[in-house]
Structure 1
Amino acid sequence: MSENWLNKVNWSEDGLVQVVTQEAGSNKVLMVAWMNRKSLQLTVETNEAHYWSRSRKKLWHKGEESGHVQKVKEIHLDCDEDVLLLTVEQVGGIACHTGRHNCFFNKLENNQWVVVSPVIKSPEEIYRK
């Protein structure tokens, strides 16, 4: 299989591209993450989101521990070719490691950050080790 499509991505100096992940149907932004070539290849091959964890410095299959995988419906590349948009079905309805539907649960109101989304399932229940 040709890798020309991978070469079109404008990878950063450290070999990454930013990814905005959006929920199919609701169009809510679930999260923002990073991919390298391998994680993007795996995402395309498996139709499930794989990312690069900058903090852990390793590939990360979304939902590998929680079961809350992201089934990829579409992948788009922006006009500057340096940001990806994934449209996904979020299995289990939880995208955030805090147990919320998405990672954008803090809203600025009157110069204060206010939590506006409930925890659906506690992280302790999700990430039992």
Structure 2
Amino acid sequence: MADQSLTSQEREQGSRFAPKFDASGLLTAVVVDARSGEVLVVAHMNLEALDATLASGKVHFWSRSRQSLWLKGETSGNFLNVEEVLVDCDQDAVVIRAQPAGPTCHTGAPSCFYRRIESGGSGSVLVKVKT
């Protein structure tokens, strides 16, 4: 868990990496394509997933639904190869710049964000984004 002994100043301006996990032991992980900057997936990491990602260079997540660690691409071969990991100011979220080795979404789409919300007279609808 997070090192509570750090002051806000140390956490926000210092050089010590001390991730701040939420009450469920998770932090938000946003993965973007290192080449295009496109958001590929937003998921969660616990300490084990974060450590595995940093050690292996392949993105790991914590599955909240399965309550287990998962390596993205383990079954599909569509790994997310880490180029850079950035942490936000209070260290409770990371942005991972990665090279995808194929589609990121389990639907086969390049990104999990493949639909746009459009509002109309009868309410909001989802429209596929052209890739």
TM range (shorter): 0.7 to 0.9
State the secondary structure of the residue aligned to 1:65. coil
Percent same amino acid at aligned positions?
Answer: 38
8 Å CA contact retained: 1:75, 1:85: yes
State the secondary structure of the residue aligned to 2:84. strand
| 1:109 matched residue in structure 2 | 118
State the secondary structure of the residue aligned to 1:67. coil
> Which 4+ runs in 1 deviate beyond 6 A?
none
User: Do residues 27 (structure 1) and 27 (structure 2) align?
Assistant: no
| 1:121 matched residue in structure 2 | none
Structure with max Cα Rg: 2
Superposition RMSD in Å? 1.5
| Cα distance, 1:80 vs structure 2 | 2.1
Partners of 1:82 and 1:45 in 2: how far apart? Answer: 19
Question: Structure 2 unaligned runs (5+)?
Answer: 1-15
User: Do residues 99 (structure 1) and 93 (structure 2) align?
Assistant: no
| 2:84 matched residue in structure 1 | 74
| 1:84 matched residue in structure 2 | 94
TM-score (normalised: structure 1): 0.83
| Cα distance, 1:117 vs structure 2 | 4.2
Partners of 2:94 and 2:20 in 1: how far apart? Answer: 10
| Cα distance, 1:116 vs structure 2 | 1.8
Question: Structure 1 unaligned runs (5+)?
Answer: 119-129
